[in-house]
């Protein structure tokens, strides 16, 4: 039986928390895709992120309406679930990276998050 595509193995391009914060100050900023569970997402997220759990991303990607001309940054808690999301996005033609260290690193850097 083949392994699920979303297992967190292998290196992918990264964006540091401070680089992402700076990129979000420009218009248009990168598209944000948070691949955590809805409960994790509600507990705190980078403003403007869309939430699609990594286990459903492949099936739901077409409905997201992502702009292929703009970069996408995938986000999870610790940068494990976002790695396979980046691989999938890059296979589909997107310029994608993930938030290095995930929300743990974002919070450690003292960067703002939205809750609820």
pTM of the predicted model, to two decimals? 0.91
Domain ranges of the chain: 14-108
Q: How far apart are CA 78 and CA 64, in angstroms?
A: 23
H or E element, residue 40 = helix 38-42
Strand partners, 99: 15
Going by pLDDT thresholds of 50, 70 and 90, the confidence category of residue 67 is: very high
Average pLDDT, the chain: 92
Task: Name every residue whose Cβ is closer than 8 Å to that of residue 88 and which is 6 or more positions away in sequence.
Answer: 5, 6, 57, 58, 61
Report domain 14-108's class: alpha beta
* pLDDT of amino acid 11: 78
10, pLDDT greater than 90? no
Mean pLDDT, rounded, for 96-106: 97
Q: What is the distance between the terminal CA atoms of the chain, rounded to a whole angstrom?
A: 39
The predicted structure's pLDDT at residue 5: 57
The tally of CA atoms less than 13 A away on the side-chain side of residue 2 is 3
Residue 56 has pLDDT above 80, yes or no: yes
């Amino acid at each position: 039986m083949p392994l699920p595509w979303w297992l967190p193995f292998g290196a992918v391009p990264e964006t540091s928390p401070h680089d992402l914060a700076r990129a979000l100050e420009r218009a248009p900023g990168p598209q944000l895709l948070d691949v955590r569970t809805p409960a994790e997402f509600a507990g705190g997220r980078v403003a403007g992120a869309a939430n699609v759990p990594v286990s459903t991303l492949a099936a739901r990607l077409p409905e997201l309406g992502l702009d292929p001309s703009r970069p996408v940054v995938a986000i999870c808690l610790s940068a494990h679930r976002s790695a396979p999301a980046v691989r999938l996005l890059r296979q589909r033609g997107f310029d994608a990276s993930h938030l290095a260290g995930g929300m743990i690193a974002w919070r450690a850097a003292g960067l703002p998050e939205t809750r609820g």
